[in-house]
């Protein structure tokens, strides 16, 4: 599922002024955008199902599929964040990144 093993971006968490930015490779960015485009289409499809009074169980199954797809995007993003931004900031002596990471992970798994 994660065909991007070994890809590293040299400055994932650069600070541009006071705004932090990620720098994903084009391959990773395209993969994320493609997945999000499919999810967007699925959400529009669920809206149509509800408008057509589709049986609730069928709609709920589609919602479950969307949640799973979003989790996949989150896992991909988290993996890249850990392999680049988090490691980079720890190497720079910024241990605050661990607190930030724990808060984010708690949000992802609730």
CA dihedral angle for residue 19, residue 107, residue 109, residue 93, rounded to 10 degrees: 50
**pLDDT per position as a tens digit, 91-110:** 999 999 999 999 999 998 88
Q: Residue 51: pLDDT above 80?
A: yes
pLDDT band at 6 (very low <50, low <70, confident <90, very high): very low
Query: pLDDT value at position 17?
Result: 52
Name 36's Cβ contacts closer than 8 Å, sequence gap at least 6.
Answer: 73
* More confident call, 21 vs 8: 21
**Interval 6-34 mean pLDDT:** 70
Name the superfamily (CATH) of residues 26-109: Metal-sensitive repressor, helix protomer (1.20.58.1000)
HSE on the CB side for 32, CA within 13 Å? 16
Element (H, E) at 14: strand 14-16
- Position 72 scores a pLDDT of 94
Residue 106 has what pLDDT?
94
Pick 1 or 87 by higher pLDDT: 87
- The predicted structure's pLDDT at residue 18: 60
């Amino acid at each position: 599922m994660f065909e991007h093993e070994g890809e590293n971006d040299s400055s994932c968490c650069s600070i541009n002024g006071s705004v932090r930015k990620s720098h994903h490779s084009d391959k990773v960015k395209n993969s994320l955008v493609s997945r999000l485009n499919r999810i967007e289409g699925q959400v529009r499809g669920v809206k149509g199902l509800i408008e057509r009074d589709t049986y609730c169980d069928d709609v709920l199954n589609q919602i479950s599929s969307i949640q799973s797809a979003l989790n996949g995007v989150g896992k991909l993003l988290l993996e890249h964040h850990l392999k680049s931004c988090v490691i980079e900031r720890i190497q720079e002596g910024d241990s605050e990144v661990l607190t930030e990471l724990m808060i984010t992970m708690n949000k992802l798994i609730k």
